[in-house]
Chains A and B, each alone.
Chain A
């Protein structure tokens, strides 16, 4: 079996516990001065990659784990986090503060990088919690012509480059089997990400972090979607509380829900 060369794309997003606020101009969500962290699903991708090596899960072994992120200078923070969790190295595709890529562009970028890095397994989060598009992994697999397994909750490696993935689907789980090279996207049940320890955070500072730009990859950030406006969702008004179960039932009847 081929040794794994894993590419782990990660994204810096507003921390999942922060309630996003729409800016006054209604053009975007306010990001300045807001806590950011690694997209939670990407945390799982990094953990899975490192765990495959730690527990010798792949018969061919793991040759390389490379984390990659496209974003402003601060995206380096999450690349360092990934390296502190156990990624061998990082690639930062530099972008200006506020510049964003659509999933199709990210997929085109990752295709170039995967080819350049001779990756044979790309593990991505199933969606980023800011755009909520859930597209990049599938698009990448399509562009590369590789097999894909989305919303993975279990990944197993067999002989002859075979990979068996159990996926979360509507109503339960489904298992598929494919051969490397392939693209896997992570679901929350895949694993429990580790915390980076202080010694590992220190070590991560010495790991290699390459920088490049989209132009280096021969790409321009071409946008297909124009955001016309971003608004707050219609606010829901709490309807108040009732004293007891009878009150609950009569209120529900009044609202036509029972």
Chain B
């Protein structure tokens, strides 16, 4: 009876009471709810950030299964099985899925989703998730909900639109909800001492139509940009690649930070594409984001304005970045950054 009452409340007064209603009755229909969390792996190594999907699944309530596929996935599956609250890890071992090609991976997911009648499927809004999940959604005739930052109840989700300049709360009427999550909004679950069953999934063995040729990944000893707790980011003010490297890298090393860049810096060739922070690049939310020589265009802010603390160094006192920065320093970055680097090192 309660679930019915709540459903009425949810539809009639959803816009007004959405958050309050879910706070009063956490997951009353959890028995009917089952979530498949898609985990990413590479060369048999579990991508720990993809365990954020478990965190989101726990917010939904209901049973939680994990899914991993690739050429050698048993170790990754075992690791994921250690996460508390996870009932089962479905593993499919086949070389065809190793690179996550959507033409192979999507039918694989569709078969495994259909077999167990999941109500929710969750993946990170990563290059992999963005590539594969919409294809899965279309094959299941479901309208995917992308890049969510919060879960209000089993059918109501919050996601940024317009580069984070507006926040939409949407209610899905699809029987299977296909969701990608913003990693920075759901901290990854940590493998502990649980031991979920690892079971063999269905393998439809689709004919590959796309061939993986090669990859070229930027190698770095610095923390990964998307998950780093500190990020130092350089913009057009750095003037050249040499200056970018000379000024920004020592600062990053002194702070133990990842390096990011604005689109202007990337387009001008100062930094690699993969370092771009913003609407069209990475979305980060570190403890500290230090913007150096970045004016703060809306597309850039979209990628970093959820950072805990924002610091800005810019010679233009009117730069929009100062409107969002918790602490700003007006000055020549070529003077201030080396001084800052030196003082952090010696402290």
CB distance from B274 to the nearest CB of A (A): 5
- Judge whether B161 and A142 touch: CB under 8 Å: no
| Shortest distance from the beta carbon of B129 to any chain A beta carbon, whole Å | 10
Within 8 A of B (CB), among A225-249: 225-233, 236, 238-242, 244-249
Q: Is the CB of A142 within 8 A of B106?
A: yes
Known: A19-B298, A229-B15, A257-B287. A174 touches B211 (CB 8 A): no
CB of A173 within 8 Å of the partner chain: yes
CB distance from B145 to the nearest CB of A (A): 7
How distant is the Cα of A168 from the Cα of B274 in the complex, in angstroms? 8
Residues of A within 8 A of B171 (CB): 225-226, 228
Report B-chain residues with C-beta under 8 Å of the C-beta of A179: 209
29 interchain pairs, CB-CB under 8 A: A20-B166, A29-B166, A102-B143, A131-B161, A138-B133, A139-B138, A140-B138, A147-B210, A151-B130, A164-B213, A169-B127, A171-B217, A174-B216, A176-B212, A188-B280, A224-B143, A226-B170, A226-B173, A227-B170, A228-B156, A236-B305, A236-B323, A238-B325, A238-B326, A241-B328, A248-B340, A249-B340, A249-B347, A255-B326
Bound together, the chains give a CA A175 to CA B310 distance in angstroms of: 36
With contacts A129-B279, A170-B274 known, is A104 near B142, CB below 8 A? yes
Say whether B135 contacts A142, CB under 8 Å.
Answer: yes
A189→B218 CA distance, assembly (Å):
16
A130 to chain B, nearest CB (A): 6
- Whether B324 pairs with A236 at a CB distance below 8 angstroms is yes
- Asked if B154 lies at the interface with its beta carbon under 8 angstroms from chain A, I say no
> Given that A228-B18, A228-B156 are known contacts, is A132 also in contact with B146, CB under 8 Å in the complex?
yes
Question: What secondary structure prevails in chain B residues at the interface with A?
Answer: mixed
- Interface residue A135 (Cβ < 8 Å from any Cβ of B): yes
Main secondary structure of the interface of A (DSSP, over half): mixed
- Interchain CB contact under 8 A, B214 and A174: yes
Q: Which residue of B is nearest A41, CB measured? A: B280
- Interface residues in A96-113 by Cβ distance below 8 A to B read 102-104, 107
Tell me which residues across on chain A come within 8 A of B146, comparing CB atoms.
132-135
Partner of A233, one of B167, B172, B226, B282: B167
Closest to A187 in B: B280
Q: Is the CB of A229 within 8 A of B135?
A: no
Which residue from chain A places its CB closest to the CB of B272 in the assembled complex? A172
Q: How many Å lie between the Cα of A174 and that of B98 in the bound state?
A: 14
Q: How many A-B residue pairs have CB under 8 A?
A: 257
- Within the complex, the shortest CB–CB distance from A186 to chain B, in Å, comes to 11
Counting CB contacts under 8 A, is B309 at the interface?
A: yes
A134-156 vs B, Cβ < 8 Å mask (1 yes, 0 no): 11111111110011111101000
Contact residues, B294-331 vs A (CB, 8 A): 298-299, 305, 308-311, 313, 317, 322-331
Interface residues of A in 162-208 (CB under 8 A from B): 164, 167-179, 187-189
Find chain A residues with CB under 8 A from B279 CB: 129, 132
- Interface contacts beyond A131-B161, A249-B347: sample of 4 additional A-B pairs, CB < 8 Å, sorted by A: A142-B135, A151-B127, A224-B174, A252-B311
A214, B29: Cα distance in complex, Å? 37
Bits for B212-230, please: 1 = Cβ < 8 Å to A, else 0: 1111111000001010001
The residues of A that contact B240 with a CB separation of less than 8 Å are: none
Please give me the residue from chain A that is nearest to B131 by CB atom.
A150
Q: Are B144 and A133 in contact (CB under 8 A)?
A: yes
Provide the residues of chain A in CB contact with B343, threshold 8 Å. Answer: 245-246, 249
